[in-house]
């Protein structure tokens, strides 16, 4: 069906003069719905997340919600987010210098919750640690991508361009936190996108939405009224593997030394 | 002079071949590199829109509260007031956009509470943990506790 | 898929359980290593005027070319989306070693190797363009680029340019394989890979494998042509192999000593891995069989006077063991780097399949391909045309 001349000139004009975002906004305006035009300004946001280990109950809501929201494959080795359980045994009184290390498990990433394996009162320390992409400000995964298929957006989210990724897997190796994987359906890389499609619409991430105890909270470091500023000021927070200097933006409250 | 030139003819031809190759490369580059590549950084600007294009599965608490203000009132003062609706009721964006077409499934009153409240050594102290063997005489939690205001029995 | 879970012991981050880089990525540094090593052997004659290895000059260059042509194949086969691989040339990310390597590869292939081979072979190409009959004639005619002059001036120019190319070629060869080492060595997230020594270790093991490969190929081709190998050439190659080996071994020992001494957070986990999962490939194959035995044999030749036949036998054995050892080294780096968890609490297993895209059958075919290409190149551009009478 031949495109009529007016449509063609409009289309070509848009393509030549407008960025894709502005072109989309124009569509809204032209359709008489200017209020739906893109109100989200990249420069106004710098996204981060707070994870409060003292609140996590290992229910697995976040893992399930993420797989639903982001259509993540259900096999037990593809996770955009997962929960680990740590069992730190008490020091051996007979030999306190002896080598000890925590027992860690994450059965199907915590998707089905955690069955009881340890007992209270035996002197051990047990807790849950949710993990996700840390959306590093100096991300090593972005550094090694040969083509620019993974990048840090101007609003602080490390994203994957699935239309451009070669599936070379270099970034999977470069991530110190193990948060990237190859989606077997597209043979490209996939990882937590901080629910970019939600946070740019004013919603919170799926994992934060379903967390019943508030162990996970999205934060916007560029918003002076965001509660994250107060939280960072009043709690002892850490990032994972700080020696790697990745500029990680997932801040953990109550992070124990045994956490890997 | 001519002799010198004659001696290097093959090298000049090789050089021209290289030059042609570089030209082909530059043309290919101009044609094949996506037009929106590099505008905001070393990536395709369209990837931002691609990542935003996904359909939402969880509606978010605010969407639920638009219609279900009775539940909002019921939860006032309860410890569950801070628990978002979809934490128990599952992803309901489909229901929020078409409330009559997609009806949510009622959570099982015997199982849903245990997702959070089953005892586990790794749960924080102070978080209410209930062993169904010691509490409730084998009945469903919902028999006694109102899920939206569990303090009320 | 479930078998992956069974192969895990201890704790691995859920996304780490499956290995990302397979046997194909083990082959790639092995193949580019042979390229760099063969070229450096060739440059010994051209730049450092080591006359003795002249008989292998052309063979070394053709070997480098054959392996370099085959090198991208395992990479393409491994990519999730090979049809997009051209993107590395269109929008290369300048912070990515992998992207910049594409240009190093092109530079090395076109400017260093192809140009140098062409210049050295030009008299033969012109002659063959005039003398051959049949379809091959067209190939030679194209290769002449339409210029049939072989004046003294032009040949002298060719020699000068060729020498310059070889001189540029040495740092280029260093870059070619050093870069592969850097691709691993720059990954701070992986303590098995992350060391500044990695590019240097890769380079010297490349030189070792390249010299061993050319040594074996030369002796094999002489045997096939029923010609006696030039013993001075073979002895010199073996001597350089020994020198390179000693340096390579020294570097690997330096890395090991550092790791054991510093004993950082990864040490216990890696140490356990070397003693269990990597025991056969690292201790037995790489170190004992692939390093101690060949060094011992080659050193023996330097210390004790042996007959031609004895020396030839030793060189063949040492050469084969060397190549096996260097292959094991690549395996230990690539696969070893993925067998342990970045949590330092667990290990997984590499399950190599047979006939899938990254199985060992395609890997075997990928390894055979360069020899097929080399055979074709040797037929097209005979390294020893004056001796063809035999």
CA distance C111 to C332: 33
State the pLDDT confidence band at A19, using cuts at 50, 70 and 90. Answer: very low
Given a contact cutoff of 8 angstroms between Cβ atoms, the answer to whether A53 and A254 are in contact is yes
The pLDDT, as a whole number, for residue A28 is 44
C335 vs A122, which has greater pLDDT?
A: C335
Given a contact cutoff of 8 angstroms between Cβ atoms, the answer to whether C116 and C61 are in contact is yes
Q: What is the CATH number for A174?
A: 3.30.70.20
Q: Residues C246, C247, C248, CA angle at the centre, nearest 5°?
A: 90
Mean pLDDT (chain A) is 89
Looking at residues A114-136, what average pLDDT do you find?
93
Nearest to A166 among C81, C342, C343 (CB): C81
Length of chain A: 260
Ranges of H-type helices in chain B: 2-7, 9-32, 46-52, 61-67, 69-75, 85-89, 93-97, 114-117
Percent of chain A's residues with pLDDT above 90: 77
Question: Is there a single domain that holds both residue A254 and residue A211?
Answer: yes
Task: Give the mutation candidate from A104, A138, A168 for the C interface (greatest C CB count, under 10 A).
Answer: A168
A124 touches chain B (CB under 8 A): yes
Condensed to tens digits (0 to 9), the pLDDT of residues B30-54 reads 999 999 999 999 999 999 999 999 9
- Reply yes or no on whether the pLDDT at A26 is more than 90: no
Closest alpha carbon within chain C to B5: C154
Condensed to tens digits (0 to 9), the pLDDT of residues C73-86 reads 999 999 999 999 99
CA distance C58 to C310: 26
Query: Nearest-CA neighbor of A172 among A182, A183, A162?
Result: A182
Instruction: Tell me which chain A residues have a C-beta less than 8 angstroms from the C-beta of B60.
Output: 198, 203-204, 209
Looking at residues A156-182, what average pLDDT do you find?
97
CA distance A23 to A20: 5
State the pLDDT confidence band at B138, using cuts at 50, 70 and 90. Answer: confident
CA distance A146 to C88: 6
Question: Is there a single domain that holds both residue A34 and residue A124?
Answer: no
CA distance C312 to C308: 6
Given a contact cutoff of 8 angstroms between Cβ atoms, the answer to whether C262 and C78 are in contact is no
Three-class DSSP category at B35: coil
CA distance C93 to C240: 38
Nearest-Cα distance to chain B for C164, in Å, is 14
The pLDDT, as a whole number, for residue A91 is 86
State the pLDDT confidence band at C321, using cuts at 50, 70 and 90. Answer: very high
Residue B146's DSSP bridge partners are B149
Query: Nearest-CA neighbor of B52 among A79, A42, A189?
Result: A42
Q: Is A166's CB within 8 Å of C85's CB?
A: yes
Looking at residues C178-193, what average pLDDT do you find?
96
B33 touches chain C (CB under 8 A): yes
Question: Is there a single domain that holds both residue A30 and residue A137?
Answer: no
Looking at residues A245-249, what average pLDDT do you find?
97
Instruction: Tell me which chain A residues have a C-beta less than 8 angstroms from the C-beta of C334.
Output: none
Whole-model pTM: value is 0.90
Nearest-Cα distance to chain A for B131, in Å, is 11
Looking at residues C318-338, what average pLDDT do you find?
97
CA distance C174 to C37: 9
Nearest-Cα distance to chain C for B123, in Å, is 20
- Mapping DSSP onto H, E and C, the string for C10-27 reads ECCCHHHCCCCCCHHHHH
The pLDDT, as a whole number, for residue C52 is 86
C81 touches chain A (CB under 8 A): yes
The pLDDT, as a whole number, for residue A1 is 46
The pLDDT, as a whole number, for residue C120 is 92
Dihedral (CA of B47, A222, B41, A139) sign: negative
ipTM exceeds 0.90: yes
- Here the tokens at position A32 are 């008489």
Nearest to A203 among B43, B44, B60 (CB): B60
Q: Is C189's CB within 8 Å of A176's CB?
A: yes
Nearest-Cα distance to chain C for B1, in Å, is 12
- Reply yes or no on whether the pLDDT at A136 is more than 50: yes
Task: Give the mutation candidate from B120, B128, B131, B147 for the A interface (greatest A CB count, under 10 A).
Answer: B120
C14 touches chain A (CB under 8 A): yes
Q: Is A86's CB within 8 Å of B84's CB?
A: no
The pLDDT, as a whole number, for residue A77 is 85
Angle in degrees, 0-180, between the axes of helices C231-262 and C198-224, rounded to the nearest 10: 150
- Reply yes or no on whether the pLDDT at A11 is more than 90: no
Report CA-CA distances (Å) from A86 to A15, A58, A62, A126.
53, 11, 18, 5
Dihedral (CA of C255, C260, C265, C270) sign: positive
- Reply yes or no on whether the pLDDT at A21 is more than 50: no
Instruction: Tell me which chain B residues have a C-beta less than 8 angstroms from the C-beta of C154.
Output: 6-10
Three-class DSSP category at B33: coil
Residue A150's DSSP bridge partners are A160
Angle in degrees, 0-180, between the axes of helices C308-334 and C198-224, rounded to the nearest 10: 140
Edge-to-edge strands of the sheet including A81-88?
A103-105, A81-88, A125-132
State the pLDDT confidence band at A5, using cuts at 50, 70 and 90. Answer: low
Instruction: Tell me which chain A residues have a C-beta less than 8 angstroms from the C-beta of C343.
Output: 104, 178, 260
Given a contact cutoff of 8 angstroms between Cβ atoms, the answer to whether A155 and A47 are in contact is yes
Question: Is there a single domain that holds both residue A54 and residue A22?
Answer: no
Instruction: Tell me which chain A residues have a C-beta less than 8 angstroms from the C-beta of B86.
Output: 65, 209-210
Instruction: Tell me which chain A residues have a C-beta less than 8 angstroms from the C-beta of C342.
Output: 176-178, 260
Ranges of H-type helices in C225-265: 231-262
Given a contact cutoff of 8 angstroms between Cβ atoms, the answer to whether C10 and C346 are in contact is yes
The pLDDT, as a whole number, for residue C390 is 36
Q: What is the full DSSP assignment across C331-344?
A: HHHHTHHHHB-TTS
Angle in degrees, 0-180, between the axes of helices C115-131 and C57-70, rounded to the nearest 10: 110
Closest alpha carbon within chain B to A53: B124
Instruction: Tell me which chain A residues have a C-beta less than 8 angstroms from the C-beta of B88.
Output: 212
CA distance C256 to C247: 14
Q: Which residues 6+ apart lie within 8 Å of A73 measured at CB?
A: A183, A184, A185
Instruction: Tell me which chain B residues have a C-beta less than 8 angstroms from the C-beta of A85.
Output: 122
CA distance C253 to C259: 10
Q: Is C99's CB within 8 Å of A147's CB?
A: yes
Structural domain count of chain A: 2
CA distance C54 to C364: 32
Given a contact cutoff of 8 angstroms between Cβ atoms, the answer to whether A90 and A124 are in contact is yes
Given a contact cutoff of 8 angstroms between Cβ atoms, the answer to whether A156 and A196 are in contact is no
Three-class DSSP category at C347: strand
- Reply yes or no on whether the pLDDT at C147 is more than 70: yes
- Reply yes or no on whether the pLDDT at C11 is more than 60: yes
Q: Which residues 6+ apart lie within 8 Å of A229 measured at CB?
A: A221
- Here the tokens at position A86 are 């740590």
Query: Nearest-CA neighbor of C147 among C159, C129, C160?
Result: C129
B8 touches chain C (CB under 8 A): yes
Q: Is B42's CB within 8 Å of C91's CB?
A: yes
**Highest-confidence segment of A38-47, A56-65, C48-57:** A56-65
Q: Is B17's CB within 8 Å of C145's CB?
A: yes
Q: Is B84's CB within 8 Å of A212's CB?
A: yes
Neighbors of chain A with 3 or more C-beta pairs under 8 Å: B, C
Q: Is B56's CB within 8 Å of A69's CB?
A: yes
Distance of CA C341 to the CA centre of its chain: 29
Q: Is B43's CB within 8 Å of A161's CB?
A: yes
Given a contact cutoff of 8 angstroms between Cβ atoms, the answer to whether A80 and A111 are in contact is no
CA distance C104 to C109: 9
A24 vs C234, which has greater pLDDT?
A: C234
The pLDDT, as a whole number, for residue A33 is 41
Looking at residues C103-124, what average pLDDT do you find?
93
Q: What is the residue range of A18's domain? A: 5-38
Question: Is there a single domain that holds both residue A150 and residue A30?
Answer: no
Neighbors of chain B with 3 or more C-beta pairs under 8 Å: A, C
Which region holds residue C335: left if phi is over 0, alpha if psi is between -120 and 50, else beta? alpha
Looking at residues B146-150, what average pLDDT do you find?
90
- Reply yes or no on whether the pLDDT at C255 is more than 80: yes
Condensed to tens digits (0 to 9), the pLDDT of residues C153-162 reads 899 999 999 9
Condensed to tens digits (0 to 9), the pLDDT of residues C199-215 reads 999 999 999 999 999 99
Nearest-Cα distance to chain B for C147, in Å, is 6
Q: What is the full DSSP assignment across chain A?
A: -PPPHHHHHHHHHHHHHS-HHHHHHHHHHHTT-GGGS----GGG--EEEEEETTT-----HHHHHHHHHTT---STT--SEEEEEEEEPPP-TT-TTS----EEE-GGGGTT-----S-TTSS-EEEEEEEE----TT-HHHHH-SSSSEEE-TTS-EEE-TTT-----HHHHH-TT---EEETTTTEEE---TTHHHHTTT---HHHHH-TT--EEEEETT-TT-HHHHHHHHS-EE-SSGGG-----EEEES--TT--
Looking at residues A36-54, what average pLDDT do you find?
89
Nearest-Cα distance to chain A for B42, in Å, is 5
- Here the tokens at position A240 are 């994972």
Instruction: Tell me which chain C residues have a C-beta less than 8 angstroms from the C-beta of B18.
Output: 110-111
Nearest-Cα distance to chain A for C277, in Å, is 20
Instruction: Tell me which chain A residues have a C-beta less than 8 angstroms from the C-beta of B51.
Output: 159-160, 193, 196-197
- Of A86-95, B100-109, C380-389, minimum mean pLDDT range: C380-389
Question: Is there a single domain that holds both residue A9 and residue A69?
Answer: no
**Which residue has 């502005």 as its token pair?**
A22
Condensed to tens digits (0 to 9), the pLDDT of residues C116-141 reads 999 999 999 999 999 998 889 999 99
Percent of chain C's residues with pLDDT above 70: 98
State the pLDDT confidence band at A8, using cuts at 50, 70 and 90. Answer: low
Nearest-Cα distance to chain A for C294, in Å, is 34
Question: Is there a single domain that holds both residue A29 and residue A79?
Answer: no
CA distance A133 to A141: 11
Hey, what's the torsion of the CAs at A5, A6, A11, A16, to 10 degrees? 90
CA distance A145 to C91: 11
Three-class DSSP category at C150: coil
Three-class DSSP category at B50: helix
CA distance C88 to C105: 12
Mean pLDDT (chain C) is 93
Task: Give the mutation candidate from B38, B58, B66 for the A interface (greatest A CB count, under 10 A).
Answer: B58
Looking at residues A117-129, what average pLDDT do you find?
91
CA distance A259 to A256: 6
């Amino acid at each position: 069906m031949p495109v009529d001349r007016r449509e063609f000139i409009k289309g070509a004009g848009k393509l030549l003069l407008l960025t894709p975002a502005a072109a989309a906004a124009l569509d809204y305006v032209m359709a008489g719905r200017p209020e739906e035009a893109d109100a989200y300004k990249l420069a106004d946001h710098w996204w981060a997340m707070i994870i409060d280990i003292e609140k996590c109950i290992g229910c697995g809501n976040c893992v399930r919600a993420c797989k639903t929201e982001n259509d993540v494959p259900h096999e037990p080795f593809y996770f955009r987010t997962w929960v680990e359980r740590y069992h730190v045994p008490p020091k051996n009184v007979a030999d306190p210098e002896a080598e000890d290390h925590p027992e860690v498990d994450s059965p199907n990433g915590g998707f089905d919750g955690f069955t009881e394996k340890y007992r209270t009162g035996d002197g051990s320390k047990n807790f849950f640690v949710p993990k996700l992409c840390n959306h590093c400000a100096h991300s090593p995964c972005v550094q090694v991508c040969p083509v620019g298929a993974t990048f840090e957006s101007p609003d602080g989210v490390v994203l994957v361009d699935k239309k451009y990724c070669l599936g070379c897997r270099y970034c999977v190796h470069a991530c110190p936190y193990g948060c990237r994987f190859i989606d077997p359906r597209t043979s490209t890389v996939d990882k937590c996108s901080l629910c970019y499609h939600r946070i740019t619409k004013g919603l919170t991430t799926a994992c934060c939405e379903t967390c019943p105890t508030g162990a996970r909270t999205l934060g916007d470091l560029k918003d002076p009224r965001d509660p994250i500023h107060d939280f960072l000021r009043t709690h002892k927070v850490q990032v994972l593997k700080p020696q790697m200097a990745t500029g990680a933006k997932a801040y953990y409250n109550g992070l124990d030394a045994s956490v890997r | 002079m001519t002799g010198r030139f004659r001696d290097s003819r093959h090298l000049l031809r090789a050089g021209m071949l290289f030059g042609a190759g570089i030209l082909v490369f530059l043309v290919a580059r101009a044609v094949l590199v996506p037009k929106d590549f590099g505008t905001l950084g070393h990536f395709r600007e369209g990837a931002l829109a691609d990542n935003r294009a996904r359909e939402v599965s969880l509606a978010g608490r605010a969407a639920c509260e638009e219609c279900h203000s009775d539940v909002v009132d019921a939860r006032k003062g309860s410890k569950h007031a801070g628990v978002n609706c979809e934490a128990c009721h599952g992803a309901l964006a489909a229901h929020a956009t078409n409330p009559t077409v997609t009806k949510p499934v009622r959570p099982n009153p015997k199982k849903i509470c245990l997702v959070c409240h089953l005892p586990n050594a790794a749960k924080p102290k102070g978080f209410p943990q209930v062993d169904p063997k010691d509490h409730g005489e084998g009945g469903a939690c919902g028999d006694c506790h109102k899920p939206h205001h569990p303090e009320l029995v | 898929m479930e078998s992956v879970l069974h192969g895990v012991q201890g704790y691995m981050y859920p996304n780490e359980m499956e290995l990302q880089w397979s046997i194909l990525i083990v082959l790639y540094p092995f193949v580019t290593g042979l390229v760099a090593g063969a070229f450096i052997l060739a440059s010994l004659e051209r730049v450092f005027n080591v006359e003795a290895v002249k008989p292998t000059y052309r063979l070394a260059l053709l070997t480098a070319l054959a392996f370099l042509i085959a090198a991208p194949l395992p990479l393409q086969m491994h990519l999730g989306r090979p049809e997009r691989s051209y993107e590395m040339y269109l929008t290369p990310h300048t912070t990515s070693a992998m992207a910049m390597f594409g240009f190093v590869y092109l530079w090395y292939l076109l400017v260093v190797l192809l140009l140098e081979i062409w210049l050295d072979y030009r008299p033969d190409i012109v002659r063959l363009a005039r003398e051959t009959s049949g379809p091959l004639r067209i190939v030679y005619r194209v290769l002449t680029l339409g210029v049939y002059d072989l004046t003294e001036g032009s040949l002298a120019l060719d020699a000068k340019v060729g020498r310059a190319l070889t001189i540029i070629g040495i740092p280029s060869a260093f870059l070619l394989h050093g870069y592969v080492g850097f691709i691993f060595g720059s990954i701070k997230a992986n303590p098995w890979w992350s060391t500044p020594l990695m590019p240097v270790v890769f380079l010297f093991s490349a030189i070792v494998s390249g010299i061993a490969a050319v040594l074996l190929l030369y002796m094999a081709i002489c045997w096939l042509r029923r010609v006696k190998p030039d013993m001075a050439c073979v002895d010199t190659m073996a001597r350089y192999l020994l020198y390179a080996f000693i340096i390579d071994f020294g570097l690997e020992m330096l890395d090991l000593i550092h790791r054991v001494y510093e004993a950082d957070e990864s040490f216990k986990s890696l140490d356990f891995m070397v003693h269990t999962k990597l025991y056969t490939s690292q201790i037995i194959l790489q170190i004992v069989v692939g390093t101690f035995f060949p060094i011992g044999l080659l050193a023996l030749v330097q210390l004790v006077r042996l007959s031609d036949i004895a020396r030839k036998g030793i060189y063949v054995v040492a050469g084969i063991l060397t190549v096996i050892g260097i292959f094991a080294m690549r395996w230990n780096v690539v696969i070893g780097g993925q067998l342990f968890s970045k949590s330092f609490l667990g290990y997984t297993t590499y399950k190599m399949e047979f006939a899938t895209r990254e199985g060992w059958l395609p890997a075997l075919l990928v390894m055979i391909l360069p020899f097929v290409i080399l055979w074709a190149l040797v037929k097209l551009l005979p390294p020893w045309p004056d001796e063809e009478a035999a």
